[in-house]
Amino acid sequence: MSSRRALIGTALLAPALVAPRARAQAWPSRPIRMIAPFAPGSTVDLMGRAIAPAMTEILGQPVLVENRAGAGGNLAIDVVAKAPKDGLTIAVCTPGPLSINPFLLPSMPFDPVADIAPVSLLAIGPNILAVGKALPARDVAGLVALAKAKPGTLTYGSSGVGSTNHLAGAAFAAAAGVDLVHVPYRGNAEMANDLLAGRLDMVFSGLPPLVPLLQAETLRALAVTGPRRLPSMPDVPTIAEAGLPEAQAIIYYGIVTTAGVPAPVIAALEDAVRRSLARPEVQAVFAGFGTPAGASTPAEFAALIASEATKWRAVIRRFDIRPG
């Protein structure tokens, strides 16, 4: 009888012994920091805030968005690069810190390959090539003809030297064989005002800042620089359809974490991102940016980062682009 009682006691005690150990090994055990490399209200910030609630529900710990703007995105990614290798610090990233800045800046605070682990793609978005109504060009062919007739006079705006839209303009100029003048701006409002007033001829820009101007028909969209037309702008051709496939330029958005994070944690993060992006409310937010949501494996995202780095390194070297 005593041995039977001992067996029963052991059986009752076993879950109590195992449960704390299981809880200690569970991931995540604390809230997750999601670093956004640009200011509140930016596309990257809004993407992070769109998926954070779903990831919180899936992972069982709060996913807290934290803005760290500066240095073309490097400040935010540097936080991730130097974080503990526990997967509790992640970031929404764009091409700047991983595929552009290493070739644009004289030095980097982190190694984009050795210090950062890709988790999943969030979306791929294009730039929109748009011109002011005062410019007579009605399509890309007309714009190229005008640029060739007036070499070195047509201007295009961007959000700064080495930004994705600056490089999109440089790629366009190279593909079309034209000489354009780059005008960097600190904000979209100033750039839009100059475009509307005719002080600027064209822009290469993400869709969100242009939506109200395109809806008001105060700007004319000539092409989408991505690989496919946007559902919200079905009549606007891709840059390849307009005859300049070499001018294709995308903006990727994705989630990264610290290199050295254990593979099971990376897998858990990837799963949470994938399941979050599948939710209709998240899909709707991304569609509004002109960037349909779509997850990837870490390997697929790493390959995209590398291929974009190869492309932009060539553009930066060809035009000798340097930070202002």
Model pLDDT for residues 75-132, shown as the tens digit of each residue: 999 999 999 999 999 999 999 999 999 999 999 999 999 999 999 999 998 889 999 9
- How many Å apart are CA 140 and CA 182, to the nearest integer? 18
Identity of residue 261:
V
Amino acid 185: pLDDT: 87
Instruction: Return the top range by mean pLDDT from 39-53, 76-90, 281-295.
Output: 76-90
Question: How much is the CA Rg of the chain, to the nearest whole Å?
Answer: 24
In this structure, are residues 126 and 224 in contact, taking their beta carbons and an 8 Å threshold?
yes
Q: Check pLDDT > 50 for residue 23.
A: no
Q: Give me 143's structure tokens.
A: 């714009």
- What pLDDT does residue 324 have? 62
Digit-coded pLDDT (tens) for 265-279? 999 999 999 999 999
Residue 154, classed as helix, strand or coil, is coil
Q: What are the residue boundaries of the structural domains of the chain, listed by start?
A: 31-124+250-318, 128-247
Q: What is the CATH number of domain 128-247?
A: 3.40.190.10
- If pLDDT is split at 50, 70 and 90, which confidence band does 24 have? very low
Token digits for 34? 């999601």
Q: Does the reported pTM lie above 0.75?
A: yes
Contact predicate 92/66, CB 8 Å? no
What is the percentage of the chain residues whose pLDDT exceeds 70?
A: 92
Q: Give the pLDDT band (50/70/90) at residue 159.
A: confident
CA distances from 269 to 32, 54, 56, 61 (A): 10, 12, 11, 12
Tokens of 60: 């069982």
Query: H or E stretch including 268?
Result: helix 263-277
pLDDT tens per residue, range 170-201:
999 999 999 999 999 877 778 888 998 999 99
pLDDT one-digit tens code per residue, 215-258: 888 999 999 999 889 888 999 999 999 999 999 999 999 999 99
Q: Which residue has the higher pLDDT, 161 or 143?
A: 143
Pairing of strands 219-224, 128-132: antiparallel
Answer yes or no: same fold for 31-124+250-318 and 128-247.
yes
pLDDT at 3 over 70: no
Predicted pLDDT at 10: 46
pLDDT of residue 25: 52
Q: The domain 31-124+250-318 belongs to what CATH superfamily?
A: Bordetella uptake gene, domain 1 (3.40.190.150)
pLDDT at 101: 95
Beta strands in 20-113 (DSSP E): 32-36, 63-67, 89-93
Taking residue 317's Cβ as centre, other Cβ atoms within 10 Å add up to 10
- Mean pLDDT (the chain) is 90
